[in-house]
Amino acid sequence: MATLAGAQRADGTRFFTVMAVIMSVVIVAGFSLNLAMGRSSFASPWPYHVHGVIFMAWIGLYLAQHLTMSAGNRELHIRLGKLAYALIPVMVIAGSMIMIVVAQRTGGPFFFHVSEFLWSNMALVWLFGGLAWWSLKSRRYTGWHRRLMLCAMAILTGPGLGRLLPLPLMIPHAWTITTLATMIFPFIGMLADWRQDGRVHPAYWWGLGLYLGVFAAFTAFAHTAPAMVVTEWLIAGTPGAERPMEAFLPPDFTL
């Protein structure tokens, strides 16, 4: 047992397992808080439930992968990992679908700009898929595999973390603040690398660099004329078109 514990410390298994648990808890806590406070309910259209089941399945798989490695069960880890090849494309499709459904149904959360919510959010869902797929293709290189997957998972903490932050008080920068807050997870990984090895693994530079780049590019693009035309066309004639395009506080809003 002492040998196994020492090996886990050396290869970072324990660190990545702890990070997986923390990120998963953040996501679940955010949605649970909204449910407990009556901000959301199970009385939602079916696309919300489909999206929820698919993404919760991912959280379960992500946790299971780290727990199996912590337990030294590499064979089960490999078998479960094959599920990710099917689940990741389904997540990207479901994530894209729900962005459109939400934009048309409500225009997105009132503290987000509609076009930012649609374009930047959509781009980050696809980036998650790209980083997660890259991680799977790099599974023989453990350093790359774990760190790329951590960066991918950090993207998914946005909806949970956003529900824990007082975003109405952060208008008009709520979207930027939420996204930057999720980047703390790969940043913690970079600090852990630096403390242990005196350097940061290149997977973090790629993962976090792409995250920052895609976020900045599509948040800026969301405000361009072509993006606004598409956004307005997409929500035209739906309840989502009835709210202001910019982030706003509803007249009856109270904390």
- Nearest C-alpha neighbor of 190 from the set 60, 47, 12: 12
CA distance 168 to 112: 9
| pLDDT by residue, tens only, the chain of 255 residues | 344 344 444 468 999 999 999 999 999 999 898 877 777 666 788 999 999 999 999 999 999 999 999 999 999 999 999 999 999 999 999 999 999 999 999 999 999 999 999 999 999 999 999 999 999 999 999 999 999 999 999 999 999 999 999 999 999 999 999 999 999 999 999 999 999 999 999 999 999 999 999 999 999 999 999 999 999 999 999 999 999 999 999 987 776
CA distance 226 to 217: 14
CA distance 230 to 97: 16
Judge contact between 243 and 109, C-beta under 8 A.
no
How many of the other CB atoms lie within 10 Å of CB of 18? 13
State residue 196's pLDDT score.
93
State residue 242's pLDDT score.
96
